[in-house]
Amino acid sequence: MRKNQSITGNFDWILFIVYIILIGMGLATVYSVAYDPEYPSIFAFSKVYGRQVMWIAVSLFLGLLVFLIDSDIYRKFSVPIYVFTITLLVIVLFMPEKNGARAWLGIGSFGIQPAEFAKIGTAILLARFLSSLNLKQQNIRTVLIANSIILVPMVLILLQPDAGTFVVFTAFLFVMYREGVTYDPLVLRLVNIIPGIKFKQTWVGSHFIPILFVIVFLSVVTLLVSNQTITFESFPDVELPGYYGVLFFIFIIVLVGYLIMRWLFSKRERKRALIIAIMAFVMSAGIIKVVSFTFDKLADHQKERIELVLKLKEDPDGDDYNRNRAMAAVGSGGLFGKGYRKASVSSVRTNHVPESETDFIFCPFAEEWGFAGSLILVFLYMFMMIRIIMIAERQRSSFNRIYAYSVAMILFYHFAINIGMNIEFAPVIGIPLPFFSYGGSSMMSFSIMMFILLKLDSQRKDVLN
């Protein structure tokens, strides 16, 4: 219910100014890295910097339209918006392949990437669904619906395939965790299938984030030993995959943990302690087996990317060429950089760093402005994300708060992974730097996402429930 209407009464100018600064810095970097002396005008639409100007203008126009729409529209039409974006994801699967994937809708060089807009539809519907729940009375149905809202676009995006955007969608899991959505109902249902055991509550679902880190740790360790084998001197013909060593190590930890619980717990609780120990071992074994099986089924180039990130393989002039050259460009910038339009390693003209105006836009910026400039850019992104979290916490509407956290997490994923790709900290999975990288779909989707947030926040004092 709304008690009055306002357009810019509570507009967050600070967030908007940071957004404009990042767009301006991004455009200047794209112009610098792709500069063609035969087309010096920044409005040369045959060049990427000219097209970037066009995409920025379109994005600002769409942002203005979004801001003029009443904020209640996003809540009321969350389902149609979500269905529309999902429909686009289905349609794109029937489009011709481009660079080995079916991810674009359009004609010629102009097109849109539906996966970018699916983030908006998912964020809006997830905010609508979670804001309608009584989180103190969760059940399996609500947990499954919330996860299905995220999983449907993830599956469709994986079919394209677009591994980068697929990873970004896991950001919504942290939003759910922040709002108190746990997997306890589902875990309880599975545990209580065991005869003679009746758990009334479980800490598994409530500790999703720590468990997620354990899963990531086990996955990384499994991948690190994936190419190793275990041999026995007494049985030279017997060779076991390296992950059996990890499994044995987990078994020892679980056994010691069970013995400690058996010593601390009463006789009545020891049976539950045994069940917990068995479940921990079975789940760990399942994670290890799934990771190893999935890794074996990956295409060779996907395996190579993972091996390069984990330093299991060195190929600086082959499969790891992009990251290697990007890191060289970042390092060549030194403390204060080479100066604007003086990048040599990452320039489009030299082509030492492929995609330097898109996925690797950070490296030409770092080469031109050095560590000092890179630090300022990182500060601006961190300030933007912190500002969005502050905006989220001051909302009276849970819908607004959940949407704001979704925006913050999506931006964080893009920021962390993109810069990680440029400094050899993350695999190359095609993640653009928000408001900075060249690209129409990313610029429009991030701008629409941001203006929806600004609109919701501007009317926060008008919302009574």
Query: What is the structure's pLDDT at 360?
Result: 87
- Between 181 and 136, the more confident residue is 181
**Which residue, 143, 115, 127, 138, is CA-closest to 79?**
127
- Around Cβ 38, how many Cβ atoms within 10 Å? 7
Residue 305 identity: R
Tally helices (H) and strands (E) across the chain: 17, 4
Angle between helices 208-224 and 267-297 (to 10 degrees): 50
What dihedral angle (degrees, nearest 10) is formed by the CA atoms of 198, 199, 205, 210?
A: -120
96-117 per-position pLDDT tens digit? 877 677 778 875 556 788 999 9
The DSSP H or E segment spanning 211 is helix 208-224
Q: Which residues of 42-59 are buried (b: 16+ CB within 10 A; e: fewer)?
A: eebeebbbbbbbebbeeb
- Which range of 48-52, 68-72, 227-231, 272-276 scores highest in mean pLDDT? It is 48-52
What is the number of alpha carbons within 13 Å of residue 15 lying toward its C-beta?
25
The confidence band for 1, taking pLDDT boundaries of 50, 70 and 90, is very low
Query: What is the structure's pLDDT at 70?
Result: 84
Q: Burial level of 264, CB count in 10 A (0-12/13-18/19+)? A: exposed
Residue tagged 């399996």 (tokens)? 140
SS3 67: helix
pLDDT average, residue stretch 299-309? 70
Structural contact between residues 322 and 351, judged by C-beta atoms closer than 8 angstroms: no
Query: What is the structure's pLDDT at 436?
Result: 92
Q: What is the pTM of this model?
A: 0.81
pLDDT for 463 beyond 90 = no
CA–CA distance, 407 with 389 (Å, rounded to integer): 9
Terminal alpha carbon distance of the chain? 6
- Between 90 and 183, the more confident residue is 90
The DSSP H or E segment spanning 112 is strand 110-112
pLDDT for 318 beyond 80 = no
53-84 per-position pLDDT tens digit? 999 999 999 999 998 888 888 989 999 999 99
Structural contact between residues 352 and 323, judged by C-beta atoms closer than 8 angstroms: no
pLDDT average, residue stretch 255-277? 74
386-416 per-position pLDDT tens digit? 999 999 998 888 999 999 999 999 999 999 9
pLDDT for 144 beyond 80 = yes
pLDDT for 35 beyond 50 = yes
The DSSP H or E segment spanning 240 is strand 239-241
User: How far is Cα of residue 64 from the mean position of the Cα atoms in its chain?
Assistant: 26
